[in-house]
Amino acid sequence: MTSDAPHHDSDAEGIRLAKRVAEMTGYSRREAELLIDNGVVRVDGTVAPTPQMRVRPAQRVEIEKNATPQPVPPVTIVLHKPPGVRVNPATPLAGARRSETDRSGLLQLPRHLVDQRCVATLAPHDSGLVVFTQVPGIERKLVEDAGILEHELVVEVQGAVVAEALQAMRPARVSVASQREGRTSLRFAIKGPQPGQVSALCERAGLKILGVRRLRLGRVALAGMAPGEWRYLLPDERF
């Protein structure tokens, strides 16, 4: 379905796209908004970002054939946060790019970024796996089970690390991942770490932290994503 102009009530500033789509289709304003949310409405050949955008009479509005209004299913987003970046749920993917490892097949929609809750955040100086979700069940799972979900971390520390230091960091399970001159990479597995707990464990063992990266939360991992990349959580993935 195509329209080059609305039937009425337009001016040089244009009208809300949802109103124009409602006029074109005979749907209610809410149903028109759902069509736009689903990415099936184009303005001058480009997918419309929001129902609130304004369109002028001369602009071409097209709706995909056989499209029907329906709510956009909620999604969960997994982000590889770079170090030094502060997480902002209002703009969860600011500066990020979609990873080539994303196998969801989902069309990225503006609606996917609305009302996202950050349910697995990291300190600004840390990096790694961060989770945003619109799905109440996933939010509830990560909040209610926060104390028992296992976190896998790579912690870079200064200098060499002896066996006694590894033992001193219990209850975390800690092993040496790699060593090179002047620094050691430790692999941590710890359930429900409290803010600052990993730092406190390292301090107790006499170690100075140089960097922290979360590789896994429960059964969901970074899965090859580079810093600054994101992907959709797959339907069969469980934390």
Question: Quick one: pLDDT at residue 10?
Answer: 46
- pTM, two decimals, is 0.84
- Nearest to residue 126, comparing CAs of 193, 194, 214? 214
Same domain, 192 and 212: yes
Please identify, among 38, 63, 88, the residue that sits at the C-terminal boundary of a domain: 63
Residue 223, SS3 per DSSP: coil
Cα 96–97–102 angle (5° rounding)? 125
Q: How confident is the model at residue 17 (pLDDT cuts 50, 70, 90)?
A: very high
In order of 105, 131, 183, 209, the CA distances from 142 in angstroms are 25, 10, 33, 27
Helix/strand/coil percent split, the chain, to 5:
20, 30, 50
Question: What secondary structure does DSSP assign to 75-117, as a single string?
Answer: -EEEEEEPTT----TTSTTTT-EE-TT--S-PPP-GGGGTT-E
Same domain, 46 and 85: no
- Summarised one tens digit per residue, pLDDT across range 60-116 is 999 999 999 999 999 999 999 999 999 888 888 989 999 999 999 999 998 999 899
Same domain, 87 and 170: no
Domain span holding position 76: 72-147+220-239
CATH of the domain at 76: 3.30.70.580
